[in-house]
A and B are shown apart, each in its own frame.
Chain A
Amino acid sequence: MEILSKVHYHNLVKWAQDKPDVLVLSADLTGSTEIDLFRDTYPERFLSMGIAEQNMLSFAGGLAREGYCPLVHTFAVFIYRRAYDQIAVSVAYPHLPVKMFGFLPGIMTPGGATHQAIEDISIMRSLPNMTVLECGDATEVESVMDVAYGVRGPVYVRMLRGEIPRLFDPSEPMALGRTRTLSQGHDLVVLSSGICTEEALRALRVLQKRGLAVKHIHVSTLKPFAHPEIIESIAEARYGVISMENHSIIGGLGTIVAEQMAGAGLGKKLVRIGIKDTFLHGASRPYLAREYGLDAQALIEAIEKLVGERFNIGEADLEQIHLTPVHSSAKAEAL
């Protein structure tokens, strides 16, 4: 598997080259959100706003009203937790094209509970006019720019940084409202988003060799959630559906699927893999993934329980999971 380093750092500069309306706003996390090359390349289009997120979000609303496309960059928690009222009133209500790039979703940082965004999808998707996207690999980190830019109103993006695998062919960019079907089967449906897709791919590759037929769908457009193919697939699944997300099980992908199933009157079992209504703590990604049950092994355990069969898959059976060292040269600091 190809691992790319600092995808957004390079891509943003190239992407924004022919878009003079694009401004980048930073809240003192310029290197940490990979916008330092943009700052150095287009200093006139880079606005340093300091550690003052409430002002930054309302200010971005003002810029957007005058025809600019502000790209707000900081850690996700500092967008939706610190400036929620500002997003609601200055950005979402007036339906302005402010694009918010939230970094460090869920277990992606050892920065602890203050830095880990575990309920951002839940909060942002309940805002009227908001579009919510999540990136799962390097191809999506690159192509999410066109998707976000193409939406007329505000967009919240769960963004990735540092070393990122390329799971999807670059010839298949992210598209608004389009899911990716990664395998076919009628035994059960697995819906995954963000970094969980890589984990799910590992687990399902082994399980499919053991004869389980799984329809695996990757979701990157969380709102609007107009995916009839998902409901059709769940209706056909023998055992039910499992959602897997790097987010609280309240309000994210699992909840969205539950709402959709209830609306369609689907009486199938739903297992939600995610952060089980708890805060996290500061530790490495693989450690947190195991502790909170967000890794390939957790998916295998959930499937065994759902289908009532043991597959006896151990760590050795799973392909080596890619581990990103905490002190990587691809990151500006150890967070």
Chain B
Amino acid sequence: MTSRQRDEWTSQVYRVAGGIRRRVLEHTIRNNGGYLSQACSAAEIIATLYLKAMKIGPATVPPVPPPFAGVPGPGNPAYASGAGYNGPQGPEWDRLILSPSQYALVLYAALVELGRMAPEGLAQFNRDGSTVEMIGAEHSPGMELMTGSLGQGISQAAGLAMARKRRGDRGRVFVFMSDGEFQSGQVWEAIQAMAFHRLDNTVIYVDVNGQQCDGLVSQVMNIEPLDKRLKAFGARVIRIDGHDVKALARPAGLKPDGRPLVVLADTDPCRGIELLAGRRPKLHYTRFERETEREAFRSLLDSL
């Protein structure tokens, strides 16, 4: 690979990351509400996963999501997950599990930027009768598990990984997690089990943005030192700058060594939209309080 090719992939990732921020900002202004800080912190992580870290194929489903066709059950055998937006499933392909489905808006924006979903799909966000739900469900584009109840994504992903390991699949299970989830006991039960059962076909990227619903993670319930805690539980831990795409891509290329791999990506919840910093310390959900504030963000959007 030439240095020019290397630069090409990194610039493509940065371009998609910028596009994710722009689309989520646009959505937040239009709807006067959105998970904007999550786009700022996770844009490079999500873009790197799709473009560099994961081995996935092109989307297998129509670019405009069809209407919601009912919950799963014996009377609805045709129920389908949103995994088709992440490409075909098969022994050789990687899978992506979005654990905090509060990040769904960020994921949808990424799918549009990547050409996996049409912009009309994002326009369906939180509309009655649509699968493009606010808190993504397994039928939502880019999702394949129920993860809105925090802490359950990693355990389900571990079950998938165990099944894939037993079958000898080469494809791995990637999990995107938020740092707040590490307050939940189930997450530690899962890490413990993944280390014990040697599920080294799992790669967990954590958006360590230090933010949760009530405010700063450090003030709601401390989870640090997260790297040391995870290592003590038997995980292989790499802590990096979550906005450096080369640093983000590198761990996915490591040879598995028997331990589940956890990439702690330290991020800035205002990155790329510094105007958000004025809303600190509460960044979990962005709703403009005054029209002047909304105007300021609109001007920013126009300049991006």
Residues of B within 8 A of A85 (CB): 149, 152
Point out which of A47, A54, A67, A85 has the most chain B C-beta atoms below 10 A from its C-beta.
A54
Residues of B within 8 A of A47 (CB): 162, 197
Contact with A along B190-232 (1 / 0, CB 8 A): 1011001100000000000000000000000000000000000
Closest to B157 in A: A62
Closest to B144 in A: A65
Q: Please tell me the size bucket of the interface on B.
A: 20 to 34
Within 45-68 of A, Cβ neighbours of B (below 8 Å) are at: 47-50, 52, 54-55, 57-68
Beyond A55-B186, A66-B167, whether A90 also contacts B155 by CB under 8 A is yes
Measured between alpha carbons, how far is A94 from B145 in the docked complex, in Å? 8
- Shortest distance between the CB of A23 and any CB in chain B (Å): 9
A-B contact pairs, 14 of them (CB 8 A): A55-B186, A55-B193, A58-B186, A58-B190, A59-B155, A61-B159, A62-B159, A62-B163, A65-B145, A66-B167, A86-B186, A90-B155, A94-B145, A95-B79
- Is the C-beta of B287 less than 8 angstroms from some C-beta in chain A? no
Q: Please tell me the size bucket of the interface on A.
A: 20 to 34
Known: A50-B192, A57-B155, A86-B155. 18 other contacts (CB 8 A): A47-B162, A50-B196, A52-B189, A52-B192, A54-B155, A54-B185, A55-B155, A55-B192, A58-B155, A61-B155, A62-B145, A62-B156, A62-B157, A62-B162, A65-B163, A85-B152, A93-B71, A128-B71
- Shortest distance between the CB of A47 and any CB in chain B (Å): 7
- Shortest distance between the CB of B165 and any CB in chain A (Å): 10
- Is the C-beta of B55 less than 8 angstroms from some C-beta in chain A? no
Q: Is A95 in contact with B74, judged by CB distance below 8 angstroms?
A: yes
Give chain B's interface residues, CB within 8 Å of chain A.
Answer: 71-74, 79, 138, 145-146, 148-149, 151-152, 155-164, 166-167, 185-186, 189-190, 192-193, 196-197
Residues of B within 8 A of A52 (CB): 189, 192-193
Q: Is A94 in contact with B72, judged by CB distance below 8 angstroms?
A: yes
Closest to A51 in B: B189
- Is the C-beta of A89 less than 8 angstroms from some C-beta in chain B? yes
Closest to A49 in B: B193
Point out which of B152, B192, B193, B196 has the most chain A C-beta atoms below 10 A from its C-beta.
B152
Closest to A94 in B: B72
Measured between alpha carbons, how far is A89 from B164 in the docked complex, in Å? 21
Residues of A within 8 A of B160 (CB): 62-63, 65-66
Q: Is A59 in contact with B156, judged by CB distance below 8 angstroms?
A: yes
Measured between alpha carbons, how far is A85 from B146 in the docked complex, in Å? 11
Closest to B186 in A: A54
Residue from the list A57, A59, A95 in contact with B162, Cβ < 8 A? A59
Measured between alpha carbons, how far is A287 from B152 in the docked complex, in Å? 41
- Shortest distance between the CB of A55 and any CB in chain B (Å): 4
- Shortest distance between the CB of B128 and any CB in chain A (Å): 20
Measured between alpha carbons, how far is A153 from B162 in the docked complex, in Å? 20
Measured between alpha carbons, how far is A9 from B31 in the docked complex, in Å? 59
Q: Is B159 in contact with A60, judged by CB distance below 8 angstroms?
A: yes
Within 293-318 of A, Cβ neighbours of B (below 8 Å) are at: none
- Is the C-beta of A129 less than 8 angstroms from some C-beta in chain B? yes
- Shortest distance between the CB of A93 and any CB in chain B (Å): 5
9 nearest CB pairs, A to B? A62-B159, A66-B163, A58-B155, A55-B189, A52-B189, A59-B159, A62-B156, A62-B160, A54-B186
Q: Is B74 in contact with A90, judged by CB distance below 8 angstroms?
A: no
Beyond A59-B193, A94-B146, A95-B74, whether A86 also contacts B159 by CB under 8 A is no
Residues of A within 8 A of B166 (CB): 68
Measured between alpha carbons, how far is A5 from B155 in the docked complex, in Å? 36
- Is the C-beta of A205 less than 8 angstroms from some C-beta in chain B? no
Q: Is B190 in contact with A67, judged by CB distance below 8 angstroms?
A: no
- Is the C-beta of A152 less than 8 angstroms from some C-beta in chain B? yes
Measured between alpha carbons, how far is A55 from B73 in the docked complex, in Å? 23
Q: Is A95 in contact with B72, judged by CB distance below 8 angstroms?
A: yes
Within 35-51 of A, Cβ neighbours of B (below 8 Å) are at: 47-50
Measured between alpha carbons, how far is A48 from B192 in the docked complex, in Å? 12
Measured between alpha carbons, how far is A153 from B72 in the docked complex, in Å? 10
Q: Is B155 in contact with A89, judged by CB distance below 8 angstroms?
A: no
